[in-house]
Structure 1
Amino acid sequence: MDTITLIRSRLNALKGQWPDICAVTGLRYDWLTRFAQGRIKEPGHSKTETLLKELDRREDREEIKHAA
């Protein structure tokens, strides 16, 4: 699985959190939706890196929450 596909998969698992993800990252909701649907051929390194960092942060926060 390539990196973009992995990011899309992780993003789709958090679909209800997209508005908050956009607020935190500064990414536009329409871009996030099109990206998640695979409608952006070249999403750009900067945007995907920003999104990946936020997904990692959310995953880390969930792991801490479940460990407590």
Structure 2
Amino acid sequence: MKRKILNIFTVSAIITTIGFLMDGDVKEPSMAMRFTEFFAMVTIIFLAISLIYLPLNSLTKKLQRVRQ
């Protein structure tokens, strides 16, 4: 489980970094605000992926056990 969470965090950080690099909006002059926005987006994407992936993974494992 720890490995899965680390992988989800890595994917969300990569997606957020790509999003920030591709963003064409004017950047905030405050570095604190930039870091806040970055970590907020990492958290949102991490939660979104986790809420979809972990229950689906658990469900597929349970279905495989029932099938055998």
Bin the TM-score by the shorter chain. 0.3 to 0.5
TM-score for both structures, normalised by structure 1:
0.39
Higher relative contact order (CA 8 A, sep 6+): 2
